[in-house]
Amino acid sequence: MLKRSWIDSANDAEGEFPLNNLPCGVFSTRGLPPRCGVAIGDMILDAARAEEAGLTGTQRLLQSAKWNPLMAEGPAVWSSLRKRLTDLLAEGAPDRAAVEPLLVPMADATMHMPLEVAEYTDFYAGKQHAQNVGTMFRGPENALPPNWLHIPIGYNGRASTVVVSGTGIRRPLGQTKAKDAEMPSFGPSKRLDIELEIGAIVGTPSQMGEPITTDRAQQMIFGYVLLNDWSARDLQAWEYQPLGPFQAKAFATTISSWIVTREALAPFAVVTPSPEKELLPYLKGDFPGNYDVNLSIEMNGHRISTTNMRELYYSAAQQLTHHASSGCSMRTGDLLGSGTISGPGPSNYGSLLEMTWGGETPLDLGGETRTFIEDGDTLTLRGHAQGDGYRVGFGACTGTILPAPDYP
């Protein structure tokens, strides 16, 4: 049910930021440095100033212009802050007069990275995507690798190039090799693509040498963002064997400005699809660790795909458990990409590679067509969970492609 707020725009049934959501971002307004804020309707509550005014029940957790200090505190503190903010913003709140001056119109704000990304790992937990990409790269017989049904497969990506929604992305340069060419060549990617993913954000850390259970992993997750894993398919096809993606995915990853907390998504929790092969005991998660979140992709304003987070075969908790299982420590601010979330048919695929089947079938964008991304194109991911009379949304995860740089 919609929790009503004294901020009218937060009571809109189709709005993304009702009182039920309260996602965490970092914003600035003219002349003032970036600071922590919480979205409510079409406004942002200045959480840093609310803390200074003694309204949040926290001390010095919201002053660093990143959410990491709060994230490190763990679920009890996350929960009490959420409860406190809910009380401040609910219809009939006694503190309204103190809170009102701390609201800034979203339209006047510039958004920044909401967290310091400690490390970034990208998984491959969408089965339809793994099947599709495997078919194109290795043929239908070898599409799904033999380990896929047993391990949440991943690779270590780059935290240095995770950027916030709205950041322009330079077309990457790299090495490619045409099938019939004798030598590889170097230049701008000609097969630039997106991947629609959800990123899970680790709040509380684990120690080196300390494996964790799926229950504990679930408790460690602070929240989720939309994530676009920009991918240069021509670089990828040439470089990926035997160590997996490298420069094809190292140049940029865009996340939404808002972190939707695990608590806000709890009413939309679902179990992952039943495993086709029994999972080893350490990976079993008998709780609903996935979420019913509607997802979509727009290219230059045209919707080109719709899918849902519930398609994921492994939950973020299972991915995190596997990640720590060897003794690998997990840090506050670790970002775990889910893997591309493709649904059953071409209108539900999460990458252009799949939608155009390797560039063979162009997409119709109302007059124009596209296979891969051209300079100046804007790609936008959106996502929301649908409640009874309200939505919990992520805001946009968007980026425009700029021409490749000259080689120095």
Ligand X SMILES: O=C(O)/C=C/C(=O)CC(=O)CC(=O)O
Residues of this chain that interact with Ca ion (CB under 5 A) are 122, 195, 229
Binding to Mg ion by CB under 5 A, coded x per residue (else -) over 219-248, reads ----------x-------------------
Q: Which is nearer to ligand X, 101 or 140 (CB)?
A: 140
By the rule CB under 5 A, 253 interacts with Mg ion:
yes
Q: Could you tell which of ligand X, Ca ion, Mg ion, none binds residue 137, using a CB distance below 5 to 8 A set by kind?
A: ligand X
By the rule CB under 6 A, 245 interacts with ligand X:
yes
Encoding tokens for residue 36? 């922590």
Q: Which is nearer to Ca ion, 20 or 338 (CB)?
A: 338
Q: Which is nearer to Ca ion, 27 or 314 (CB)?
A: 314
By the rule CB under 5 A, 249 interacts with Mg ion:
yes
Specify whether the backbone of 92 is left (phi greater than 0), alpha (psi in -120 to 50) or beta: left
Q: How far is the CB of 231 from Ca ion (least distance, A)?
A: 7
Number of shown-chain residues binding Mg ion (CB under 5 A): 3
> Amino acid letter at 150?
H
Given the residues 129, 322, 323, 384, select the one marked as catalytic: 129
Residue position matching structure tokens 């408790």: 219
CA 283 to chain centroid, in Å, comes to 22
CA dihedral for 325, 328, 332, 336, sign (positive or negative): negative
Active site residue 384: no
Strand pairing class (397-402; 169-170): parallel
- Contacts by 280-286 with C-beta closer than 8 Å and gap 24+? 280/150, 282/211, 282/213, 282/214, 282/321, 282/322, 282/325, 283/152, 283/214, 283/314, 283/318, 283/321, 283/322, 284/214, 285/214, 285/215, 285/218, 285/315, 285/317, 285/318, 285/321
CA dihedral for 123, 127, 133, 134, sign (positive or negative): positive
By the rule CB under 6 A, 289 interacts with ligand X:
no
Q: How far is the CB of 300 from ligand X (least distance, A)?
A: 23
Q: Could you tell which of ligand X, Mg ion, Ca ion, none binds residue 246, using a CB distance below 5 to 8 A set by kind?
A: none
349 annotated ligand-binding residue: no
Q: Could you tell which of Mg ion, ligand X, Ca ion, none binds residue 124, using a CB distance below 5 to 8 A set by kind?
A: ligand X
Cα–Cα distance, 188 to 281 (Å, whole number): 46
Residue 290 and residue 310 in contact, taking contact as beta carbons nearer than 8 Å: yes
- What is the helix (H) or strand (E) element at residue 295, kind and residue range? strand 294-299
Residues 84-123 that bind ligand X (CB under 6 A): 122
Q: How far is the CB of 351 from ligand X (least distance, A)?
A: 8
> Amino acid letter at 46?
D
Q: Which is nearer to Mg ion, 27 or 224 (CB)?
A: 224
By the rule CB under 5 A, 197 interacts with Mg ion:
no
By the rule CB under 6 A, 240 interacts with ligand X:
yes
Residue position matching structure tokens 């040498």: 209
The C-alpha R_g of the chain, in whole angstroms, comes to 21
By the rule CB under 6 A, 339 interacts with ligand X:
yes
What are the binding residues?
122, 124, 138, 195, 197, 229, 236, 240, 249, 253, 340
Active site residues: 129
Judged by the rule CB under 6 A, the positions of this chain that interact with ligand X are: 122, 124, 126, 129, 133-134, 137, 195, 197, 229, 240, 245, 249, 339-340
What are the binding residues for Mg(2+)?
229, 249, 253
